[in-house]
Amino acid sequence: MKSRDEEITVHVRYGGIEKTFSGNLEEVWFSLFRFFSEFIPSFETAKRLMLNVDLQALAKQCEGIFAFSNEGASLLVPKEKLTDNETLLLWLLAQHVGFQLGLLRSESLSRNELKFRLGKNAKITSTRIGELVKGRLACKTADEKYKITSFGLAQMQKEIISRVIARIGSV
């Protein structure tokens, strides 16, 4: 049996945080206790406040709304039943999901790609993209393309997809 005065070292890795505690058994024990009682609850609270989207649940929710083939993503819902903003968001969402699943090479689309997919002129497309960016549902990337934001993903999962499904009927 070791003496309480012998030095002990404990290394803790939790999420992205690492902490090492050294000292005698009693000091390390109290340091660990303090770490877990003070840090972990605040970390868990912060974690609950983060916008995290479950990709598997999101993909399941989108079954029948879009699909992927060798040519890329395809919307399966009639455009005339969607608003311009919903159409653009669904394209951006499909691009994101396809990229996350390893089916597409990029999670972003250019303004011209969005214009083509929306089927409207450049002015209307630009206005609608601007509305999505202003609403923080989409953002411009460093390479001048557009992608859906974390907030946009959360809004799609929480409200927009169910609203689209209700309007078009079951998918």
Span 77-113, pLDDT tens digits: 998 999 999 999 999 999 999 999 999 999 999 999 9
Least confident of 2-16, 54-68, 141-155: 2-16
How open is the CA angle 140-143-145, to the nearest 5 degrees? Answer: 45
Report the C-alpha gap between 16 and 122 in whole angstroms.
44
If one counts every other C-beta atom within 10 angstroms of the C-beta of residue 9, the result is 9
* Residue 22 structure tokens: 């050294």
Place of tokens 């169910």: 162
CB 66 within 8 A of CB 96: no
Q: Is the pLDDT of residue 14 over 70?
A: yes
Q: Is the pTM of this model over 0.75?
A: no
SS3 content of the chain, % helix, strand, coil (to 5): 55, 20, 30
The answer to whether the CB of 66 falls within 8 A of the CB of 161 is no
Q: Could you tell me if residue 33 is left (phi over 0), alpha (psi between -120 and 50 degrees) or otherwise beta?
A: alpha
